Amino acid sequence: MNLTPEQIRNIIVYVLTLIISVAVHEWGHAYMADRLGDNTPRREGRVTLNPLAHADPIGTFLLPLITAVYAASSGRISGGFGWGKPVMTQPNNYTRKYSMATGLALVSIAGPLMNIVLALVVATVHGVLLWQNVLAPDSKIHLGLIQAVYMNFTLFFFNMLPIPPMLDGSKVLARFVPYRHRSKLDNVAVYGFAILAAFMLIPQLQQVFLVPARFCGDQVYELILRLVR
């Protein structure tokens, strides 16, 4: 396997971008749980943006690196999936202002929402740099910032898939499912890993989260181009 210097650089940029995006995502979970009154994430050192506090050796480093190298060697854009170390939280410690289900839903959605925030912040900075002619449209930084924006939109829509028990969307969905029907979610959770694997590996199913991610990224950059012209 012979990779060009440019491919190696793209792989490094991709993995570093994913590490930062995962850290922001997991920080969102930890911060919200902390705000709701559960000090478990704080005691475990998770209320921080330090990527090392949220990194999973396999999900944050090894798997993204392997998939990025494989994509580059196959002539495709570096890409793949990754995850961080789950934030441990005790819903019993949440403030009584909210039900336990509501608190858990707030903690769950906080992570994906932070990916949206990061995407918008990066896109805004990108737009300012283009407006001030700091970046050339064909520069490596320009392309890296675009990748970061689309990656974070993808992480949002992927994590919001209502696949129990792994993805955040399932906990948000549980908040709106009547209590007497929540056992049905538990029944689906038995097949959760298989369902998740299908969405990760089958290109047709990937479109469920890739299409809206591309749409949002396109709309954001269309707005930016209007502002900088």
Which tens digit of pLDDT belongs to each residue from 115-145?
999 999 999 999 999 888 888 888 889 999 9
Using pLDDT thresholds of 50, 70 and 90, give the confidence band for residue 53: very high
The range of the structural domain enclosing residue 127 comes to: 5-228
Average pLDDT, the chain: 91
Using pLDDT thresholds of 50, 70 and 90, give the confidence band for residue 150: very high
Q: How far is Cα 1 from Cα 187, in angstroms, rounded to an integer? A: 44
Q: What is the pLDDT of residue 147?
A: 93
Q: What is the pLDDT of residue 39?
A: 96
Using pLDDT thresholds of 50, 70 and 90, give the confidence band for residue 210: very high
pLDDT value at 228 more than 90? no
Name the catalytic one among 6, 26, 44, 222: 26
Q: What is the pLDDT of residue 15?
A: 92
Better-scored residue on pLDDT, 109 or 4: 109
How many CB atoms lie under 10 A from the CB of residue 167?
22
- Copy the structure tokens of residue 122: 């990066």
26 is annotated as an active-site residue: yes
Domain count, the chain: 1
Q: How distant, in Å, are the alpha carbons of 73, 136, 181, 206 from that of 200?
A: 20, 34, 27, 6
